[in-house]
Chains A and B, each alone.
Chain A
Amino acid sequence: MKVIANLNVCQGHARCEDICPEFFATDAIEGKVVIANPEVPAQLEEKVRLAVRNCPEGALRIARSGQRSEGGSDAA
Chain B
Amino acid sequence: MTLLWQPSSPDHVPAELVVDFDFYNVPPGVSDATQIWHDLLRKGAPPIFYTPHNGGHWVFLRYADIAEAYRNHERFSTRGAQVPPLEPFPVLQPNGVDPPEHDVFRKILAPMFTPLAVRRMTDGLQARAAAMIEAFADKGACDFVRDYAAKFPTSTFLELFGLPQERLPEFLRLSDTFFRSNDAEVRAANVQEIYAVLEELFRSRQAHPGNDIASTVVQARDAQGEPFPWEDIINCGFLLFVAGLGTVTNTMAYVWRYLATTPEARAYFRANIDDQPAFLNGLEELMRINGVSNLYRRATHDFEYKGIQFRRNDRVVLPNNVGNRDAAVFENPQAIDLARKINNHVTFGVGPHRCIGSHLAKREIMISMQEWLKRIPEFALDPEQTDGSVFGGPVMGFTSLRLTW
Interface residues of A (CB under 8 A from B): 11-15, 17-19, 26-31, 50, 53-57
Contacts of A50 in B (CB 8 A): 341-342
User: A29: which of B111, B277, B348 is its contact (CB, 8 Å)?
Assistant: B111
Interface residues of B (CB under 8 A from A): 107, 110-111, 113-117, 277, 280-281, 284, 341-346, 348, 350-352, 354, 358-359
Contacts of B342 in A (CB 8 A): 50, 53-54
User: A11: which of B281, B343, B350 is its contact (CB, 8 Å)?
Assistant: B350
Known: A11-B354, A13-B358, A14-B115. 13 other contacts (CB 8 A): A12-B354, A14-B359, A18-B277, A18-B284, A19-B281, A27-B114, A28-B116, A31-B110, A31-B114, A53-B342, A55-B344, A56-B345, A57-B351
B104 CB, min distance to chain A CBs, angstroms: 13
Contacts of B280 in A (CB 8 A): 18
Contacts of B117 in A (CB 8 A): 28
A57 to B155, CA, bound (A): 32
- The verdict on A54 contacting B343 (CB below 8 Å), with A11-B354, A28-B116 known, is yes
Contacts of A11 in B (CB 8 A): 350-352, 354
Inter-chain contact A54/B344, CB cutoff 8 Å:
yes
Determine the main DSSP class of A at the interface with B.
loop
Specify the chain A residue showing the minimal Cβ separation from B341. Answer: A50
A18 CB, min distance to chain B CBs, angstroms: 5
Inter-chain contact B115/A26, CB cutoff 8 Å:
yes
Inter-chain contact A30/B277, CB cutoff 8 Å:
no
Contacts of A53 in B (CB 8 A): 342
User: B354: which of A13, A17, A19, A28 is its contact (CB, 8 Å)?
Assistant: A13
User: B111: which of A13, A14, A18, A28 is its contact (CB, 8 Å)?
Assistant: A28
A15 to B345, CA, bound (A): 11
- The verdict on A13 contacting B348 (CB below 8 Å), with A29-B111, A30-B114, A31-B115 known, is yes
B284 CB, min distance to chain A CBs, angstroms: 7
- The verdict on A57 contacting B350 (CB below 8 Å), with A18-B277, A18-B284 known, is yes
Contacts of B351 in A (CB 8 A): 11, 57
B314 CB, min distance to chain A CBs, angstroms: 25
A53 to B342, CA, bound (A): 7
Contacts of B107 in A (CB 8 A): 30
Inter-chain contact A26/B284, CB cutoff 8 Å:
no
Cβ contacts A to B, 8 pairs, < 8 Å: A11-B354, A13-B350, A14-B115, A14-B359, A26-B116, A27-B114, A30-B107, A54-B342
Contacts of A28 in B (CB 8 A): 111, 114, 116-117
A21 CB, min distance to chain B CBs, angstroms: 8
Contacts of A12 in B (CB 8 A): 110, 114, 354
Across chains A and B, which 6 residue pairs bring their CB atoms closest together, nearest first?
A31-B114, A11-B354, A56-B344, A14-B115, A30-B110, A28-B116
A53 to B111, CA, bound (A): 26
Specify the chain A residue showing the minimal Cβ separation from B352. Answer: A11
A50 to B281, CA, bound (A): 12
A10 to B344, CA, bound (A): 14
Contacts of A54 in B (CB 8 A): 342-344
A27 to B342, CA, bound (A): 24
Inter-chain contact A29/B341, CB cutoff 8 Å:
no
Contacts of A15 in B (CB 8 A): 284
A16 CB, min distance to chain B CBs, angstroms: 11
Contacts of A27 in B (CB 8 A): 114, 116
A2 to B127, CA, bound (A): 41
Contacts of A29 in B (CB 8 A): 110-111, 114
Inter-chain contact A17/B350, CB cutoff 8 Å:
no
A18 to B117, CA, bound (A): 15
A53 to B116, CA, bound (A): 23
A28 to B117, CA, bound (A): 7
Specify the chain A residue showing the minimal Cβ separation from B283. Answer: A18
A10 CB, min distance to chain B CBs, angstroms: 10
